[in-house]
Amino acid sequence: MSNSPESPSRSDFIREVVAADRAAGKHAGRVVTRFPPEPNGYLHIGHAKSICLNFGIAAENPGGVCHLRMDDTNPTTEDPEYVQAIQDDVRWLGFDWQDKLFFASDYFERLYGFAVLLIKKQLAYVDSLSAEEMRRHRGTLTEPGTPSPYRSRSVEENLDLFQRMRSGEFPDGAHVLRAKIDMASPNINLRDPVLYRIRHVAHYRTGASWCIYPSYDFAHPLSDAIEGITHSICTLEFEDHRPLYDWVVEQCETSQRPQQIEFARLNVSFTVMSKRKLLDLVERKLVDGWDDPRLPTLKGLRRRGFTPEALRAFCEAIGVAKRDAVVEVQLLEHFVREDLNKRAPRVMAVLRPLRVVIENYPEGQVEQLEAVNNPEDPSAGRRPVPFSRTLYIDQEDFRENPPKQFFRLAPGREVRLRYAYIITCVGVIKDPTTGEITELRCTYDPDTKSGGPQAQRKVKATIHWVSAPHAVDAEVRLYDRLMLTDPGKIPVEDDWTTHLNPHSLERLSACKVEPSLATVSPGTRLQFERVGYFCADPDSAPGKPVFNRTVTLKDAWARIEKGQPTG
RNA sequence: UGGGGGAUCGUCUAGCGGUAGGACGCCGGCCUUUGGAGCCGGCUACCCAGGUUCGAAUCCUGGUCCCCCAGCCA
C-alpha cells in the first residue's frame, strides 16, 4: 500500500512509535516532546527539521505538547542573544510552545540533588585525574579502560569533595564527578562518563551562583524526566548515548521515564550547516552577520524571502528516517518557488536598464495601462502601470546579432511589451567611443495595445519594461546562497572557507522598478516578471527600495557547483 | 580492529511475504500577453551471494560498503 499524494501527514518510524505507545497506554497516553537547542548560535534549516518534527508530533496527538528548552549547561558558549533569536525563529516558523519555555539551568539545584543521590548509591564518584590522565584511562575503541585510582573513594569523601567543588574551593579541572558504570564497557560512553565539571565562568542566567556545571549526558535525560517528556527525539550521533540516558533516568529514580528516539539530521547539498562553521563565517566577517541572506540560518532565509510555509512543506517532504541523507538544495528551492508562485504579486523591474525611445509615441503623453497582480490568483486584483515615450527594458532582452534561439528584441524585430504594445526596433544608438549600445529607437503599433483590436497578434516574445520618467531607482541584490564547491563533506584542511564559492553576491544598483514599488513594506515577496522572486529587505533602511533575490537562478546551480560566477 | 547504526531511481522517501509507489531532478512535447508558471509524456532503484517460500525489497545465513563513538562540547 502506497501513500497517496493527498495523504495529509506522512507516517515515519517515530510517529509509529508514538502511535503505538499511545495505543498501549504508555505514559498514560500523553505525548510530550521538546525542542532543546543550546543557545550558542542561530537556528538553521537543519533545526527546522527537528522543530517541525517535535512540534508536529505534539500537534498531531490529542493533548500533545512540545516544550522549548534551552539546553544551557555550558556557560562558555551561551548567550542571551541566542536565546532571543531562537524564540523568534521558532515562532516565525509558525510554532507555539505556549507557556512551556524551559531552561536546563533552572534545574541546576535539582540536578545537583540527583548527583548527590548517585554518590550516596555509590554510583558516582569524584575523580581527580587530569583530563589527559582520564583520557589515557579511558582505553581505546578496542582496549578496555582502566579504573581511576579515585574510583573507590568513600561515599563520605565523595560527598565532601563534591560539596567543596560546588562551593568553589577548587580550580577548573581539579576534579570532576563521574558516573561509576563500567570502565571495560565496549560502549565508550559507559566508561564512567563525566557528570559535572568545574568551570569558574559566569553563566548568562545563573550568574556566579554555580561554578560546577552538569554535562549533557547528565542534564539532558534528567531535564526530560523533570519536564515529563515522553518522547525525547534527537539525532543519530546520540544513539550510543541511549544506554547512558536510560541509566541516568533509571538510577536517579525519576517518576517519569522518557524514551530517546534518534533520527538522521538534515544535510543539504553544498550547504554549510555546522554551527561552528557558521560562527566562523560571522566572526571572520565573511558574511554580514547571522541574518546574512546568503546563510542557511532561519534568519537569513527569512531575509531572502523564504516563507515559513515553504520551509514547513520542505521539512514534511524530506521525511524522517535513520539513514544518512543529503537532500538536494534544489528540493528546498522548489518548495519556495511553489509557495511564492501562488502568493507573490507580479511586478515589472528592469535589472540592467537599456533605454528605449518609441519614436511614434507622442512626446509628453502618459497612459495608465492595467496590469494583473497575480495570474495565479485573480483575487489579487489589478493595478495601473504608466506607459510613456521613453522606457527601459532589460539589456538581456535585446541582441544586436540574435543567436538562433533568441526571440526577443533585435534590429528590425518586434516584441510585445507586457500589458502594453507590440514594438519594433528601428534603430540602435551606440556610444561613439566605447561602441556600447546606449539606446534603442523603436516604433509601436497603437492597435496592438493589450485588449485592443490587434491584441491577439502573435509575437515571438513578451518582455518587461518600465516607463523611464516614472521609474523608481532600486537596489537589487542577486544573492546565491553561500555554497560549498563540494557537495557534502568538507575536506579537513587548514581553512575550510577555501571551499566556498565566493561569487555569491551581486548588487545591482542601477535597477529601475515600476512606480508602485516606490514604497513597499519590508518583507514583501514579489515576482519580478521574467526575472525571479524577490523580497523587499526586511531590515534595510528607508529610502531607496532594496530587494533580495529569494531563490537562485536554476541555471546558476551548475556554475555554483564549479565555483564559477553566477551573476 | 571493539561497540552502535544504516544501505530502495541521480536525490529524498514509501513499502512490513503478493504488480516496487510518490516527490525533486533530468529528457521530450504542448501551451502562454511574464515564466523559473501550467499541461502531457518519458527516464532510472531494491548493496552482493546463498537459503526458506508457490511467491522475498521484506524472513534466514554469510559477505560488502557507508556513518557515529576514545571532549571536563552538545
Other residues' Cβ atoms within 10 Å of the Cβ of residue A243: 15
A387-423: burial string, b at 16+ Cβ within 10 Å, e else? bbbbbbbbeebbeeeeeeebebbbbebbbbbbbbbbb
| pLDDT tier for residue A84 given thresholds of 50, 70 and 90 | very high
| pLDDT tier for residue A501 given thresholds of 50, 70 and 90 | confident
Taking the C-alpha atoms of residue A89 and residue A243, their distance in angstroms, rounded to an integer, is: 33
Taking the C-alpha atoms of residue A309 and residue A335, their distance in angstroms, rounded to an integer, is: 9
Q: What is the residue-wise DSSP string for A169-185?
A: -S-TTS-EEEE-S-TT-
Predicted confidence (pLDDT) per residue in A314-369, tens digit: 999 999 999 999 999 999 999 999 999 999 999 999 999 999 999 999 999 999 99
Sign of CA dihedral A34, A211, A240, A270: positive
What distance lies between CA A225 and its chain's CA centroid?
Answer: 30
Q: What is the residue-wise DSSP string for A445-456?
A: EGGGSTTSTTTT
Q: Whose grid coordinates read 569533595?
A: A161
pLDDT at site A5:
34
Tell me the pTM.
0.95
**Is A283 designated active site?**
no
Q: Which of A548, A82, A520 lies closest to A292 in space, CA to CA?
A: A548
Predicted confidence (pLDDT) per residue in A142-197, tens digit: 999 999 999 999 999 999 999 999 999 999 999 999 999 999 999 999 999 999 99
pLDDT at site A506:
87
Query: For A502 and B21, how far is CA from C1' in angstroms?
Result: 41
**Is A549 designated active site?**
no
A234 near A260, Cβ under 8 Å? yes
Tell me phi and psi for residue A67, to 5 degrees: -90, 150
Nearest residue to nucleotide B37 when comparing alpha carbons to its C1'?
Answer: A341
Q: Which helix (H) or strand (E) holds A341?
A: helix A329-343
Query: For A131 and B71, how far is CA from C1' in angstroms?
Result: 9
Predicted confidence (pLDDT) per residue in A6-18, tens digit: 344 568 999 999 9
Q: What angle do CA A245, A250, A251 make, to 5 degrees?
A: 105
Helix (H, G, I), strand (E, B) or coil at A147: coil
A94 near A308, Cβ under 8 Å? yes
The closest nt to A263, taking CA to C1', is B5
Predicted confidence (pLDDT) per residue in A37-77, tens digit: 999 999 999 999 999 999 999 999 999 999 999 999 999 99
**Is A430 designated active site?**
no
Average pLDDT over residues A441-449: 95
Q: What proportion of chain A, given as a percentage, has pLDDT over 90?
A: 85
Query: For A464 and B24, how far is CA from C1' in angstroms?
Result: 30
Residue among A15, A38, A333, A418 flagged as catalytic: A38
Q: Are strands A65-70 and A101-103 parallel, antiparallel or unpaired?
A: parallel
Q: Are strands A353-358 and A390-394 parallel, antiparallel or unpaired?
A: antiparallel
For residue A3, pLDDT beyond 50: no
Cα-trace Rg, chain A: 31
Which residue stretches of A121-271 are H helix?
A: 131-137, 155-166, 216-227, 242-251
Query: For A325 and B64, how far is CA from C1' in angstroms?
Result: 20
pLDDT at site A7:
40
Other residues' Cβ atoms within 10 Å of the Cβ of residue A3: 8
Sign of CA dihedral A396, A400, A401, A407: positive
For residue A493, pLDDT beyond 90: no
pLDDT at site A542:
83
Predicted confidence (pLDDT) per residue in A525-542, tens digit: 999 999 999 999 998 888
pLDDT at site A487:
62
Q: Which nucleotides of B are covered by protein (CB under 7 A)?
A: 1-8, 10-16, 20-26, 33-38, 66-74
What distance lies between CA A484 and its chain's CA centroid?
Answer: 16
As a whole number, the mean pLDDT across chain A is 94
Q: Whose grid coordinates read 502506497?
A: A2
| pLDDT tier for residue A494 given thresholds of 50, 70 and 90 | low
Please state the ipTM of this predicted complex: 0.97
A332 near A300, Cβ under 8 Å? no
The closest nt to A189, taking CA to C1', is B69
A442 near A424, Cβ under 8 Å? yes
Tell me phi and psi for residue A248, to 5 degrees: -60, -50
Residue among A164, A199, A265, A277 flagged as catalytic: A265
For residue A256, pLDDT beyond 70: yes
Average pLDDT over residues A242-268: 97
Taking the C-alpha atoms of residue A347 and residue A374, their distance in angstroms, rounded to an integer, is: 9
